[in-house]
Amino acid sequence: MEIGPIDMLMSLVFTREIDPWNINIIELTGKYLE
């Protein structure tokens, strides 16, 4: 099963609605990996 950009956005929105802190962790991890 391939995950496209839209699927990623939907999962991020879904995660944000459940746990607002998760999005911050994901963003910080992304910046650290760059």
pLDDT score recorded for residue 22: 63
Domain range enclosing 4 = 1-34
- Report pLDDT digits (tens) over 1-34: 686 878 877 777 776 666 666 667 777 777 777 6
Residue 33 and residue 31: Cα distance in Å, rounded? 6
Model's pTM, two decimal places? 0.34
Residue 19 and residue 4: Cα distance in Å, rounded? 22
How many independent structural domains does the chain possess?
1
Helix (H) or strand (E) holding 4: none
pLDDT score recorded for residue 20: 62
pLDDT score recorded for residue 21: 65
Residue 25 and residue 1: Cα distance in Å, rounded? 25
